[in-house]
Structure 1
Amino acid sequence: MSPFPPLDRSTIADLSIFGGDGALVEQLLHRHAVHGEHRFTTDLSRYAGSTFVVVLKTNEGMRYEKVVVK
């Protein structure tokens, strides 16, 4: 189950990872996304032992989820 709801309409989507200090660690995605549900996977093993905030920004607003990489 995705922590982010399906998009109600087409939008520009920006999916980024931020460190505990608020600094941008990596921009995973920045593109046009059509309405509906989307899935995205990435390998975070290089960030083992860290806590991050994953942020999804769209024209509809911003959502975030805390992620702990073990």
Structure 2
Amino acid sequence: MNRLQKFVEHGAERPGRTAYAFNATVLPEPEAGFNWRPVAGFSAGDEVLKDPRLKTVFQTAIKRGFAIVSRD
């Protein structure tokens, strides 16, 4: 797939990080007790319109192959 995708870490007790990548194979290992899951229906254009700060995150994903956003 040639589009930027959104992945979230799912675990039993708390929410995990969010990652953006073109391919799940380039993602780093999830934290212990978590696994990466793709977010269906993700649109990078829609997301950046909602939150312009994501532009730099998306630029990082394009340069490095992925970008991670830590939970707050």
Q: TM (normalized to structure 1)?
A: 0.32
Structure richer in strand, relative to its length: 1
Q: TM (normalized to structure 2)?
A: 0.31
Larger Rg: 1
Structure richer in helix, relative to its length: 2
